[in-house]
C-alpha cells in the first residue's frame, strides 16, 4: 500500500501558524491603528482641508493651499533653520559618540556593560527636567557660562540662541548615537582589522578601509535616531532657544494654537514626516547593501 | 647564521633562515601559551607546526606576523630582528583561520588590498590581481563579495590575497580546517604544488597530523607551548623522541622499559633490547613500535635477528586492506597491523603466537 499524499495537512498547519501569529500581534496592531494610523490620517486629511475666515478647519473643499504655503519664505526659513540645527546636532553627536563607542566596544566585556549603563544613566531622569537643568547652567551667572567665559569663549552667554538649542539636542540625543554605533562596532570581527594590518595597512588605513565602512550601519542608524527628533524638536528649543526664532516644531504648534491655521500646521507636519521617512528609507537601503 | 642542507643532487648548499625564533615565550596573564621556543625555518621550506588545539600554534604564528609581541625572546625574519615592528612593516602575510576576508569588498578588492596599501600603481596592481586570481583558479569570480562564495572559494581568495604580495614568508593558520574532507585533501595537494611553484616559505599551522605529514618538508610538533621535536615527516613518524610525539602521529605501541647503559634498554619482562638512547642509566622510558612494523608468527617461528615476544592472539579485526590483531603479552596488549593479503592464512583468537620486530623500527621515547 502506498502512502497517501496529504498536502492538506501541511496547509492546515500553516494556516494555524499564521492565525497564532495574528493573535499574538493583535494588541500591538490595535494600539498602532488607534494611536498612530488614525491620528496620522487625521493630520493628512487636515492638510488638504479648508480654513474658514474665523480660523476653523472644515473638512470640505479639499485643496492644496496649505502645501502651497510651505513655499513661503517665512515657512522655508523655519524649515531650513530646523534642518541645519538638526544636521549640526547630528554631526556633533557623531563626532563625540564615535570615539566613545569605539572605546567602549574595545574594552573587556565587564567594563563594556558598565560603560553602557553609564551612557544610559541620563534616561533615569525626565528629559524636561534635564533640559531645565541646562537652563540653570546656561544662565548668565550659571556654572557653564562662568566656566566658558573663564576659558575664553567671549562672555560665555549662549542661552536663548541656536547654540544653546544645539547643545541641548546633542546632550539629549547623544545616547541614541552611542548605542547603535556601539552595536555596530562591537560586532566587527577584529580579525578583519588584523587582516588589514597584515596586508600593510597602517592603523589609520585599517580604520578608514575596514572599521569605518563596516560600522556604517551604526552611523546611519544613530544619525537618523538623532536627526529625526532634532528636526522636529519642540521641548529643547522652547526651553533653551526662547521663542524669537521659530523652529519647525514650535511653528507647527503655533499654527494649531495661536495662528489657528490647522491645514498649514498639518501640511508642515506631513512635510516633516516625509523628511524623516526618506531618511529612514535611505537607512534601510544602505543597511541592506552593507549587511 | 646559516644552516647547511643537502640538495637532491648531493651538493651542499648554504641557505639562510627565513624565520628564526630564539627563546620565544608568550604569556597571557598566568597562561604560558608559548614556552621558550627555539626554531629555525629554512628559506623556501614548507614547514608545519603541528599540535593539538590550545598548544600555542596560533600564538607562535601571530608572533611571527607581529599581531602579538613575545613576552620574551627574539623573532628574526631573514636575519632581521623584528622587535616591535608592527604587522604592516613585516615581510610576511597571513592566511587566517577564519580567512578574515573583507565582507564589504569584492574578490578583486580583497586581493588587491595589500598592493593598494603599498601604493603599487593601478596598472601593475591589476596585472598582479589577475595573476593571483588565476593562480587560485578563481577567474570570473572577481566581482563577487566573500558572502557569495563557498568555503573553499573563500579559502582560495584568502590565499590569493596573501600570495599576491609575494611575501618572503607565508603564514597559514589551519587554512583548510573549515573545509570538508574531500575538498581538504584536494586543497592539500594544490597548496603543496602552489608552494613549489611560487617558492615562498610556508609556515603552516595544523592539528591534523595526516595533513602535516603529506604536505611538509619539516614538521615541528608542539605540546603545551613547547616545541617537542622538529624533523622531517618520516623522522617524526619513524623516530619520535617523546611519547607525546609518537602517540600524536599515527597509532603506536608503548612498551615500558628502563635504560641500561648507552645501547640497551630492559623491557618490563626483563628482555634486553639493543636500542641506543641519550638517557641516563635507570631512566624510565618506553619503546615505541608502530603496529605495521610488528609481524606475527606462529609461536617460536620468528627469525632470530629480530626482537621477539611471545603472546596469545586475542582478536582480529578485518579492515579490507589490512587486519588488526590484538595480541596479549605478559604485561600488556600489542596492536599489530598486517596487510590483508595474508587473509588467506588468517590467524584466529586463542592462537599462540610470537610477535617480532626489527630493532631499528623501535624508538626509545620519554615523557
Ligand atoms: N589573547 C589571549 N588571551 C589569553 N589567552 C590566550 C590568548 N590567545 C591564546 N591564549 C591561550 O594560549 C594558549 C594557546 O593558544 P593558541 O595559540 O590559540 O593555540 P592553538 O592555535 O595551538 O590552538 C591557549 O591556552 C589559549 O587559551
Ligand atoms: Mg589555533
For the segment B295-310, what is each residue's pLDDT rounded down to a tens digit?
999 998 889 889 999 9
How far apart (Å, rounded) are the C-alpha atoms in residues A200 and B94?
A: 11
Q: Which residues of B touch A198 (CB under 8 A)?
A: 65, 67, 87-88, 92-94
CB A214 within 8 A of CB A260: no
**Alpha-carbon separation of residue A249 from A39, A231, A253, A269, A280 (angstroms):** 17, 8, 7, 9, 19
A37-85 pLDDT, tens digit per residue, is 999 999 999 999 998 888 888 888 899 999 999 999 999 999 999 999 9
Ligand 1 touching residue B48 (CB < 6 A): no
- Residue of B28, B37, B222, B248 to mutate, ligand 1, most atoms within 8 A of C-beta: B28
CATH annotation of B251-365:
2.40.50.100
Compare A154 and A171 and report the one with higher pLDDT.
A171
Q: B88 vs A189: CB contact, 8 Å cut-off?
A: no
Residues 210 to 229 of B: which have CB under 8 A from any A CB?
none
Instruction: Say how far apart CA A270 and CA A280 lie, in whole Å.
Output: 15
Evaluate whether A269 touches A42 at the Cβ level (below 8 Å): no
Strand order in the sheet with B218-223: B92-95, B169-173, B201-206, B46-50, B218-223, B226-231
Environment class of residue B321 by beta-carbon count within 10 Å: exposed (0-12), middle (13-18) or buried (19+)? exposed
At A136 the three-state DSSP class reads helix
- Residue B34's H or E segment, with its range, is strand B31-42
Nearest CA in chain A to B93: A198
Nearest to B78 by CA among B2, B12, B163: B2
From residue A36, alpha-carbon distances to A25, A33, A230 in Å are 16, 5, 20
Q: Would you state the cell numbers that stand for residue A284, as one nine-digit string?
A: 534601510
pLDDT digits (tens, 9 = 90+) for A77-116: 999 999 999 999 999 999 999 999 999 999 999 999 999 9
Please tell me which of the candidates A189, A191, A197 has its beta carbon nearest to residue B88. A197
Contacts of B161 in chain A (CB under 8 A): 199
Per-residue pLDDT band for B183 (boundaries 50, 70, 90) equals confident
Class of domain B2-91+167-238: alpha beta
CB contact at 8 A, B93 and B165: yes
Which ligand sits closest to the CA of B52? Answer: 1
Q: Which ligand is nearest to the CA of B54?
A: 1
Determine, for residues B96 and A194 on separate chains, whether the beta-carbon distance falls below 8 Å. yes
Confidence of residue A197 (pLDDT cuts 50, 70, 90): very high
**Measuring CA to CA, which residue among B30, B37, B29 is closest to residue B62?**
B37
Question: What's the pLDDT score for residue B3?
Answer: 44
Confidence (pLDDT) at A4: 59
| B 99-138 residues with CB < 8 A to A | 100-104, 113-114, 117-118
What does the block give as the cell for A143? 556654572
- How far apart (Å, rounded) are the C-alpha atoms in residues A86 and A128? 19
Query: Are A79 and A269 spatial neighbours (Cβ–Cβ below 8 Å)?
Result: no
pTM, to two decimals: 0.84
Whether the Cβ atoms of residue B221 and residue B212 lie closer than 8 Å to each other: no
Q: Is the CB of B57 under 6 A from ligand 1?
A: yes
The answer to whether residues B347 and B296 touch, using CB atoms and an 8 Å cutoff, is yes
Q: Residue B253 in contact with residue B246, Cβ under 8 Å?
A: no
Mutate to test the pocket of ligand 1, among B54, B62, B205 (most ligand atoms within 8 A of CB): B54
With pLDDT > 90 as the criterion, what percentage of chain B qualifies? 74
Q: Which ligand is nearest to the CA of B97?
A: 2
Burial B329-361 (b: 16+ CB within 10 A, else e): beeeebbbbbeeeeeeeebeeebebbbbbeeeb
pLDDT of residue B9: 42
How large is the greatest C-alpha to C-alpha distance in chain B, in angstroms? Answer: 77
Q: Do domains B2-91+167-238 and B251-365 have the same CATH topology?
A: no
Average pLDDT over residues A168-196: 95
Residue A71's CB is within 10 A of a number of other CB atoms, namely 8
Atom of ligand 1 nearest to the CA of B57: 22
Give the three-state DSSP class for B354.
strand
Q: Return d(Cα A207, Cα A193) in angstroms, integer.
A: 8
Q: What is the pLDDT of residue A2?
A: 54
Q: A260 phi and psi, to 5 degrees?
A: 50, 45
Q: Does B95 touch chain A (CB under 8 A)?
A: no
Contact (CB<8Å) A200/B88: yes
Angle between helical axes of B151-163 and B181-198 (0-180°, round to 10): 10
Expressed in angstroms and rounded, the spacing between residue A62 Cα and the centre of ligand 1 is 72
Name B143's Cβ contacts closer than 8 Å, sequence gap at least 6.
B106, B107, B108
Cβ contact B182:B209 at 8 Å: no
The yes-or-no verdict on residue A286 having pLDDT over 90 is: no
Q: Which ligand is nearest to the CA of B174?
A: 2
Nearest CA to B218 among B232, B201, B235? B232
Q: Domain map of chain B by residue range? A: 2-91+167-238, 251-365
Q: Which atom of ligand 1 is nearest to the CA of B62?
A: 17
Q: How far is CA B309 from the centre of its chain?
A: 32
Distance from CA of B39 to the nearest CA of A (A): 22
Would you call A201 and B98 a contact, using CB atoms and an 8 Å cutoff?
A: no
The answer, yes or no, to whether any atom of ligand 1 lies below 6 A from the CB of B6, is no
Is the CB of B88 less than 8 angstroms away from the CB of A199? yes
The two beta strands, B169-173 and B201-206, are parallel
Tell me: the pLDDT tens digits for A217-257? 899 889 988 998 999 898 899 889 876 568 898 899 889 88
Percent of chain B with pLDDT over 70: 95
Give ∠ CA A274-A279-A282 in degrees, rounded to 5: 125
Per-residue cell: B46: 614548507
What does B38-51 look like in DSSP terms, one character per residue? EEEEETT-EEEEE-
Closest-lying ligand 1 atom to the alpha carbon of residue B51: 22
CA dihedral B248, B249, B253, B258 (to 10 degrees): -70
- The pLDDT score that the predictor gives to residue B10 is 38
Mutation choice for B interface testing from A188, A190, A200, A214 by most B CBs within 10 A: A200
What is the mean predicted confidence (pLDDT) over B319-326? 89
ipTM entry:
0.85
Amino acid at each position: 500500500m502506498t502512502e497517501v499524499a496529504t498536502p492538506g495537512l501541511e496547509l492546515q498547519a500553516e494556516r494555524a501558524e499564521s492565525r497564532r501569529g495574528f493573535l499574538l500581534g493583535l494588541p500591538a496592531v490595535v494600539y498602532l491603528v488607534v494611536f498612530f494610523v488614525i491620528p496620522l490620517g487625521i493630520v493628512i486629511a487636515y492638510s488638504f482641508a479648508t480654513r474658514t475666515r474665523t480660523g476653523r478647519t472644515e473638512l470640505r473643499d479639499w485643496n492644496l493651499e496649505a502645501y502651497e504655503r510651505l513655499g513661503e519664505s517665512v515657512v522655508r526659513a523655519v524649515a531650513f533653520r530646523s534642518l541645519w540645527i538638526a544636521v549640526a546636532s547630528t554631526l556633533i553627536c557623531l563626532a563625540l559618540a564615535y570615539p566613545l563607542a569605539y572605546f567602549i566596544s574595545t574594552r573587556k566585556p565587564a567594563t563594556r556593560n558598565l560603560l553602557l549603563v553609564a551612557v544610559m544613566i541620563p534616561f533615569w531622569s525626565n528629559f524636561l527636567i534635564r533640559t531645565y537643568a541646562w537652563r540653570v547652567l546656561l544662565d548668565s551667572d550659571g556654572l557653564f557660562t562662568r566656566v566658558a567665559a573663564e576659558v575664553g569663549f567671549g562672555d560665555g552667554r549662549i542661552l536663548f540662541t541656536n547654540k544653546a538649542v544645539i547643545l541641548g539636542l546633542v546632550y539629549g540625543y547623544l545616547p541614541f548615537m552611542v548605542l547603535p554605533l556601539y552595536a555596530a562596532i562591537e560586532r566587527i570581527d577584529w580579525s578583519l582589522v588584523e587582516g588589514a594590518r597584515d596586508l600593510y595597512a597602517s592603523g589609520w588605513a585599517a580604520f578608514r578601509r575596514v572599521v569605518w565602512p563596516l560600522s556604517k550601519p551604526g552611523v546611519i542608524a544613530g544619525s537618523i535616531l538623532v536627526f529625526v527628533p532634532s528636526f522636529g524638536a519642540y521641548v529643547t528649543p522652547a526651553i533653551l532657544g526662547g521663542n524669537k526664532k521659530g523652529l519647525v516644531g514650535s511653528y507647527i504648534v503655533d499654527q494649531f494654537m495661536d495662528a489657528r491655521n490647522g491645514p498649514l500646521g498639518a501640511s508642515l507636519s506631513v512635510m516633516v514626516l516625509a523628511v524623516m521617512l526618506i531618511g529612514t528609507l535611505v537607512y534601510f537601503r544602505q543597511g541592506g547593501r552593507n549587511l | 647564521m646559516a644552516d647547511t642542507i643537502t640538495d637532491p643532487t648531493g651538493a651542499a648548499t648554504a641557505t639562510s633562515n627565513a624565520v628564526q625564533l630564539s627563546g620565544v615565550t608568550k604569556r597571557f596573564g598566568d597562561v604560558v601559551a608559548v614556552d621558550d621556543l627555539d626554531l629555525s625555518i629554512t628559506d623556501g621550506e614548507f614547514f608545519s607546526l603541528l599540535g593539538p588545539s590550545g598548544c600555542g600554534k596560533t600564538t607562535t604564528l601571530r608572533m611571527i606576523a607581529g599581531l602579538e609581541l613575545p613576552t620574551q625572546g627574539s623573532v628574526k625574519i631573514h636575519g632581521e630582528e623584528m622587535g616591535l615592528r608592527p604587522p604592516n612593516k613585516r615581510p610576511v602575510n597571513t592566511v587566517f583561520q577564519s580567512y578574515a576576508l573583507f565582507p564589504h569588498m569584492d574578490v578583486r578588492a580583497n586581493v588587491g588590498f595589500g598592493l593598494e596599501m603599498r601604493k603599487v600603481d593601478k596598472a601593475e596592481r591589476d596585472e598582479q590581481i589577475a595573476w593571483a586570481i588565476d593562480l587560485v583558479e578563481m577567474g570570473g569570480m572577481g566581482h563577487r563579495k566573500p558572502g557569495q562564495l563557498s568555503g573553499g572559494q573563500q579559502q582560495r581568495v584568502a590565499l590569493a590575497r596573501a600570495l599576491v604580495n609575494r611575501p618572503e614568508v607565508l603564514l597559514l593558520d589551519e587554512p583548510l580546517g573549515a573545509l570538508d574532507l574531500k575538498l581538504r585533501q584536494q586543497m592539500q595537494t594544490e597548496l603543496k604544488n602552489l608552494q613549489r611553484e611560487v617558492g615562498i616559505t610556508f609556515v603552516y599551522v595544523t592539528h591534523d597530523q595526516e595533513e602535516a605529514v603529506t604536505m611538509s618538508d619539516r614538521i615541528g610538533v608542539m605540546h603545551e607551548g613547547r616545541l617537542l621535536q622538529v624533523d622531517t615527516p618520516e623522522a617524526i613518524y619513524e623516530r619520535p623522541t617523546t611519547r607525546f610525539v609518537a602517540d600524536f602521529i599515527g597509532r603506536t605501541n608503548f612498551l615500558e622499559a628502563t635504560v641500561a647503559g648507552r645501547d640497551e634498554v630492559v623491557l618490563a619482562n626483563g628482555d634486553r633490547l639493543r636500542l641506543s638512547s641519550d638517557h641516563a642509566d635507570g631512566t624510565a622510558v618506553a619503546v615505541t613500535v608502530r603496529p605495521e612494523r610488528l609481524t606475527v608468527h606462529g609461536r617460536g617461528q620468528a627469525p632470530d635477528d629480530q626482537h621477539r615476544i611471545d603472546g596469545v592472539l586475542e582478536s582480529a579485526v578485518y579492515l579490507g586492506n589490512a587486519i588488526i590483531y590484538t595480541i596479549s603479552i605478559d604485561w600488556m596488549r600489542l596492536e599489530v597491523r598486517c596487510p590483508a593479503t595474508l587473509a588467506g592464512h588468517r590467524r584466529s583468537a586463542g592462537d599462540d603466537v610470537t610477535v617480532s620486530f626489527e630493532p631499528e623500527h623501535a624508538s626509545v621515547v620519554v615523557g
